Structure 1
Amino acid sequence: MRPVLPPSSYLGLLALFSIGQPAFGASAIELGQMLITDAQPDEMDDARERLRSVPGATNVVDLQQVEQGRVASNQDVLAYQPGVFAQSAGNDGIKLSIRGSGINRAPGAHGSGVYTLFDGLPLTGPGGTPYELFEPLWLSRAEIMRGANGFDAGALALGGAINYVTHTGYDAAPLQLRYEIGSRGYQHRHVSSGQVLGDLDYYVALTDSEYDGYQRHSSGSAKGVAANVGYRFNANVQTRFYLRYRETENQLAGRLTKEQIKHHPRAANPGYLSRNDSRPQPGSTWIGNKTTFYLADDARLEAGLVYHDYPMDLREGAMRLKVAYSDVSGTLNYLRHGTLFGHQSNTTVGWRTTKHLPNSGASQFSRINDVVGARSRDFTYQGSDTVVHASNDLELLPDLWLTTGLAMIYTRRESEVTYPASGGRVSQHDWDYAPRLGMRYDLRPDLQLYGNLSRSVEPPHPWSLVWSAPVSNQPMKMRNQTATTLELGARGDSVLGRWDLAWYYAQVRHELLNVEVVQGLPFKEFNASPTVHQGIEASLQSLLWERPGTGKLSLRQAYTFSDFHYRDDDTFGDNRLPGIPAHYYQAELRYDWPSGFYAAVNTQMASKVQVDYANSYHADAYAVLGAKLGWNSPKRDWQTWLDLRNLTNRRYAATVTPGYDDAGLDIARSTPGEALGVYAGVSYSFR
């Protein structure tokens, strides 16, 4: 029998601060539960090792573990990740924030503050990050680089970067079928195939879903296809083509007051209901290619090209907005492992650019009670982001590495109202920079210390120049958001388990804050006075007990402390920025039997959330409980599970979309969290 620590050792995340040697001299503690295929362990291990070489906070999400329960949206993918706040708004769109990025944006739509990639190629563009291509069942893993630690991916946003990695023929089954069903009309269907055929491999997946929604008037559906084909010409050259296409249809139920969430959480906002607000996405297409050239001297060159088309048809409030968005991206990265002055040295030089195509723009129509009237305004969106970055990791002493880097970014933002009268054109062209200095020290194989001082840069969206205008047809100029962040942390394995701990402090200037000034009208975005973002991010995965032939008991925990506030603002002083809880904790206690059965209980806890900049009102703290039961066959072909959400049927606000100053009144600012839900699923993989 494996020795067992006293239960008190595992209460809360105080255990993270006790760093010990591995039990019996082992180099690692066996953690978590993971289904393993023949080809995947190397890829997953390589990803973890690569991100461990970053002198800052990172996460790797294994989708095989996520898929042992309901996988409805990106919220399920990003659960149990320290430093990541991801909550569903009742449809495909989620509110995602890392270190306060995009803290005040409404859930869904075009997110900001986190640079997003598919398979190392850009998804995020000058218009932000659309959500309709996020189908989690297409993924093998997600790589999260929090804060400035997405530097080598060309990500300069405050929240960092997330790289969603799609299955390929090397880690997919020749045939996989999956079906999920659950409360309130939820269904999720998936079929995929992947194989290696000599020097060629392929992966293709078809997925569709539907749901009635928790609130009235919150039903939705989605369908899409993902595919990629790779070919190895020889040992030195390989290429891969990617395709994603997906359509979504979401009714909008709107936000509720605290009183409504307590007593009528399934109600829809009356305005949204009477107008029949909805957000059909006609179909988004993402096509890309990445070609890798392996050079002499342990170096390689990666070239990428992406075309992305993502139209929208927004039927919200007193308008209908038909938006055409399309952009093209190019990337080029040179990576070399070698020596410099007799020391081990790793160098990365990269370039990426994303540019809106000329057809990007929108037409606005009047709308009364779901009756669309005359065209009221046309405007164009144009923008581009170009980043050149270079970094070097140099081993100064054995296991002591110095990281240096510098990025330059050129941003262009242009908006113009062309109807009913042309004019009011805004054109912004800015150069900015982002230096980076970091250190990491592998004190032992099971203990690493790290720190970095970095700068981030985030330009406004082109649409902000129009919608934030004080006069309806007169766009306004906005400045890039910048931040200087100091980060210190450590990670490793100990007798308590695998742990990660990070602290950061960021001074932010010209923060891009989004606010609903008048309900039913477009949100306004402005540059704020100086703000501070600081916090603690911690995780612990522990094997509590194990006996051969009997089973094992494990615990995983993630805690995020967020302190985001003004620095002596003329109006709001040192008020907290609304929209995100200060304390956010997730945990799962799980027992696995040798036969493949497993059972788990989980919890999610959040402190109260301010709902306006004046801090005059707040959404309540909450704690919800859940449970899972499942079975993974010994041959790894069959899988089935039962996922129970919110067992106590707790009524709470999952997301908050802030107002300016609610004067202590209970205004409709919150989206209700999901009530008691029962979900079941089955998956079969032919191997």
Structure 2
Amino acid sequence: MPSPESLPAVLLGLALVCPAMTEAQGLELGQVLIGAEDQSDEDQVIEAAKARLAQVPGGTNMVDLRRPLQGRVASNQDVLAYQPGIYAQSAGNEGVKISIRGSGINRAPGAHASGLYTMLDGLPLTGPGGTPYELLEPLWLEHVEVLRGANGFDRGALALGGAIDYVSHTGYDSPLLQVRYATGSHGYLQRQVSSGQVLGDFDYYVAMTEANADGYQDHTASESQGVIANFGYRLNSDLETRFYLRHRQTDNELAGRVTKHSIEHDPRAANPTYVARDDRRDEPGSTFIGNKTTWYIDDDSSIQTGLVYHDYPMDLSEGPNRLKVAYTDVSGTFDYKRRDTLWGLQSQSTLGLRVTRHLPNAGASEFVRIPSANTAGYAPGTLIRNFTYQGSDTVLHVGNDLEIADDLWLTTGLAALYTRRESDVTYPQEGGKTSLHDWDYASRVGMRYQLAPDLQLFGNLSRSVEAPHPWSLIYSSNIRFPAGSGVATGAQRDPVKLQNQTATTLEIGGRGDSTLGQWSLAWYYAQVRHELLSVLPDASATTPYELNASPTVHQGVEASLLSPLWSPDDGGQLSLRQSYTFSDFHYRDDDRFGDNRLPGLPMHYYHGELRYDWPQGFFAAFNTQWVSTVAVDYANSYYTDPYAIFGATLGYNAPKGDWQTWLDLRNLTDKHYAATVTPGYDDKGLDAARSTPGEGMAMYVGVSWSLL
């Protein structure tokens, strides 16, 4: 097997010499899923999703959860592994840092992620305040669709990173009863029971999940409990509706960031300051209630409407203070699709409207938790500040796919975006208020060419827009209450004003199949203005500042290859899957930092897995992950070390599909490495506490059983 240093070059070389393929074509307007007679309902849903993504003139990912579930699936890091163009790393709990094409590049793990529009079953999860992670329970998912960059345009995604849609099971693709149990290192325990079935025109799916872990690093214990349910009903052949419910509670201890020296010599040690304060993030219970109704007007047109209520309060013990946050969003969506023939050419059009807004209760109260420099002499529980977060996003988008020649499609789109961001310090009375109201636009033009049945080429040019979070207006402020302001002395007083981040992106690539396997390859180049970048003001800070940067560049290569290497006569198969992401993010002639790399993400990120499947249902796999250095400050004065980690998986899938078991071995060499970085401004070459350690050597075992 190639050395870790040569793996990205091997993958890229293979991808460049492969011919390409695309999935089945067509616009899915009707409710009938076309597939082979012997396909299961789940197979048909997966194939229909692949067909939709194949019509996108750019980079996409399709994650069938049946593959990740043949091992430990504890968070988004496990769900999004082996996916080109997606960086997903956990700091020991389910708060995963996710970035696509540098989106939200410097978000701390566990924060409300930026730069991506996230959906649950096609309904908005992302709001003006970002994307909370509490409802992203991986065991509830059937598959995940990722549309990188401008390729999420028809979903109403206008941010740099694109869109992710987490699609849950329904009664049509789930067993009547399923039980899953997993346990392993560092006190890990995960349990789920679920049920789903179809009863005439009605179907349902319901699951209850519970998990807890001590955590690899000290002071990273976590626990969660949740329930999901959805109920669908076909009123007639042209009208169907589905109701969705998710509720989940989480409680995560926080270990804070540590130095590279600490990771090398004592990787399980937490930041002593965080331990002394007993920092933790408690989610009293996030609730998501939604409905999606579809009317198939005729064979060529449909209307789909959605409505969502999302309540996600937080009780944060971070730093010397306690912060109780109230968040409630309400969202509405409208999507009209139709298929026409224009001048003898096939045409597929979309019209969509998405509105998400905070309800009036969105805000926070900050209390004294322990004595500190700001609040010395005040008893715990003393009120420091009250402040509000208010915001709304309204997106109107129109798109069209036009076949201008045989197998050559022109894609166009235009969107209008209205954003409102407000933050108001209501106590003490001397506090200030900032209110931002902005109109902006996004556009795209793209082409895809079906050069051969197994070769598709594509390209697109787009403009993206992302507004700041309402909460960042106050946390990024350097205007503080002066001495003599009592308990509020030193706290941020007046919210700042921030501009929308915009970017112009060019993407070129292709996808296909050949004797070497199924592959995808995309190159992109984005010029970003007013990029929203976060920075820790000092090593003891818990919340990064978010500010507009001078012009930056995001460019990279995203490649994947799935190769069938050997198929003996007995029906077994040896296969190799690989993904490689090259990311070059840097300033453009910044007055302070010149052309420095943007910190927080690696330039090279590789996953590979060699797997053999026996016809009886047994399988064995060996995997590796290779990551290059990461700058830990904007001055590029200090870097993490590169690392390569290795793992293995053994398991058995019963031929009837009614039960499976697996053993998942991780970090076999017990490598000490930094999994994520939350950058500082200029560390002047010193080893500051900026990193969170990755998990050491671990073993997990699991079993699931289904009543089919």
Look up the match of 2:426.
418
CA distance in 1: counterparts of 2:229 and 2:97, whole angstroms: 27
Deviation, structure 1 residue 11: 4.4
Look up the match of 1:677.
698
Look up the match of 1:392.
400
CA distance in 1: counterparts of 2:244 and 2:205, whole angstroms: 10
Query: Structure 2 vs 1, CA of residues 264 and 229 (structure 1 numbering), >3 Å: closer, same or farther?
Result: same
Query: Matches of residues 472-621 of structure 1 in structure 2 within 5 Å?
Result: 472-521=492-541, 522-621=543-642
CA distance in 1: counterparts of 2:12 and 2:179, whole angstroms: 38
CA distance in 1: counterparts of 2:20 and 2:478, whole angstroms: 61
Query: Matches of residues 367-446 of structure 1 in structure 2 within 5 Å?
Result: 367-368=369-370, 372-446=380-454
CA distance in 2: counterparts of 1:372 and 1:466, whole angstroms: 23
Equivalent residue letter for 1:285: T
Deviation, structure 1 residue 518: 1.9
Query: Matches of residues 50-449 of structure 1 in structure 2 within 5 Å?
Result: 50-296=52-298, 298-368=300-370, 372-449=380-457
Q: Secondary structure at the match of 2:382?
A: strand
Segments of structure 2 that go 5 or more residues without pairing to the other structure are 1-6, 25-37, 373-378, 480-491
Q: Secondary structure at the match of 1:635?
A: coil
CA distance in 2: counterparts of 1:95 and 1:189, whole angstroms: 24
Q: Secondary structure at the match of 1:302?
A: strand
CA distance in 2: counterparts of 1:315 and 1:234, whole angstroms: 51
Look up the match of 2:489.
none
Look up the match of 2:649.
628
Say if 2:20 and 2:512, in contact at 8 Å, map to a contact too. no
Q: Secondary structure at the match of 1:66?
A: coil
Q: Secondary structure at the match of 1:465?
A: helix
CA distance in 1: counterparts of 2:255 and 2:431, whole angstroms: 36
Deviation, structure 1 residue 198: 0.2
Equivalent residue letter for 1:264: D
Q: Secondary structure at the match of 1:64?
A: coil
> Per-residue CA shift, 1:539-579, capped at 9, x if unaligned?
00000000131511000000000000000000000000000
Query: Structure 2 vs 1, CA of residues 89 and 369 (structure 1 numbering), >3 Å: closer, same or farther?
Result: farther
Equivalent residue letter for 1:18: V
Say if 1:297 and 1:338, in contact at 8 Å, map to a contact too. no
Equivalent residue letter for 2:178: Q
Say if 2:448 and 2:459, in contact at 8 Å, map to a contact too. yes
- Between 292-301 and 582-591, report the one with greater CA deviation: 292-301
Say if 1:486 and 1:506, in contact at 8 Å, map to a contact too. yes
Is residue 45 of structure 1 aligned with residue 47 of structure 2? yes
Is residue 457 of structure 1 aligned with residue 456 of structure 2? no
Query: Structure 2 vs 1, CA of residues 21 and 295 (structure 1 numbering), >3 Å: closer, same or farther?
Result: closer
Say if 1:169 and 1:201, in contact at 8 Å, map to a contact too. yes
- Between 368-377 and 111-120, report the one with greater CA deviation: 368-377
> Per-residue CA shift, 1:579-609, capped at 9, x if unaligned?
0000000000000000000000000000000
Look up the match of 1:19.
18
CA distance in 1: counterparts of 2:18 and 2:152, whole angstroms: 27
The normalised TM-score by structure 2 is: 0.93
CA distance in 2: counterparts of 1:9 and 1:249, whole angstroms: 38
Q: Secondary structure at the match of 1:610?
A: coil
Say if 2:19 and 2:454, in contact at 8 Å, map to a contact too. no
CA distance in 1: counterparts of 2:518 and 2:144, whole angstroms: 19
Is residue 651 of structure 1 aligned with residue 672 of structure 2? yes
Say if 2:8 and 2:580, in contact at 8 Å, map to a contact too. no
Look up the match of 1:31.
none
Say if 2:20 and 2:510, in contact at 8 Å, map to a contact too. no
Stretches of 4+ moved more than 6 A in 1? none
Deviation, structure 1 residue 439: 0.3
> Per-residue CA shift, 1:410-437, capped at 9, x if unaligned?
0000110000115411111000000110
Look up the match of 1:32.
none
Query: Structure 2 vs 1, CA of residues 610 and 38 (structure 1 numbering), >3 Å: closer, same or farther?
Result: same
- Between 618-627 and 369-378, report the one with greater CA deviation: 369-378
The normalised TM-score by structure 1 is: 0.96
> Per-residue CA shift, 1:238-290, capped at 9, x if unaligned?
00000000000000011110000000000010100100000011000000000
Equivalent residue letter for 2:656: K
Equivalent residue letter for 2:186: R
Q: Secondary structure at the match of 1:273?
A: helix
Equivalent residue letter for 2:520: D
> Aligned-pair RMSD on alpha carbons?
1.6
Say if 1:320 and 1:372, in contact at 8 Å, map to a contact too. no
Deviation, structure 1 residue 92: 1.2
> Per-residue CA shift, 1:27-62, capped at 9, x if unaligned?
9xxxxxxxx972011111111111110001001000
> Per-residue CA shift, 1:72-111, capped at 9, x if unaligned?
1111000000000000111111000000000011011211
Say if 1:313 and 1:321, in contact at 8 Å, map to a contact too. yes
CA distance in 2: counterparts of 1:523 and 1:592, whole angstroms: 46
Say if 2:295 and 2:304, in contact at 8 Å, map to a contact too. yes
CA distance in 2: counterparts of 1:418 and 1:307, whole angstroms: 26
Say if 1:157 and 1:456, in contact at 8 Å, map to a contact too. yes
Deviation, structure 1 residue 183: 0.2
Equivalent residue letter for 2:448: R
Say if 1:360 and 1:380, in contact at 8 Å, map to a contact too. yes
Q: How much identity, in percent, do the aligned residues show?
A: 66
Say if 1:416 and 1:422, in contact at 8 Å, map to a contact too. no
Q: Secondary structure at the match of 2:525?
A: strand
CA distance in 2: counterparts of 1:165 and 1:666, whole angstroms: 42
CA distance in 1: counterparts of 2:105 and 2:43, whole angstroms: 35
- Between 519-528 and 59-68, report the one with greater CA deviation: 519-528
Query: Structure 2 vs 1, CA of residues 111 and 20 (structure 1 numbering), >3 Å: closer, same or farther?
Result: closer
Deviation, structure 1 residue 369: 6.5
Query: Structure 2 vs 1, CA of residues 242 and 105 (structure 1 numbering), >3 Å: closer, same or farther?
Result: same
Equivalent residue letter for 2:309: Y
Q: Secondary structure at the match of 1:42?
A: helix
CA distance in 2: counterparts of 1:15 and 1:141, whole angstroms: 27
CA distance in 2: counterparts of 1:11 and 1:593, whole angstroms: 27
Equivalent residue letter for 2:151: N
CA distance in 1: counterparts of 2:205 and 2:694, whole angstroms: 35
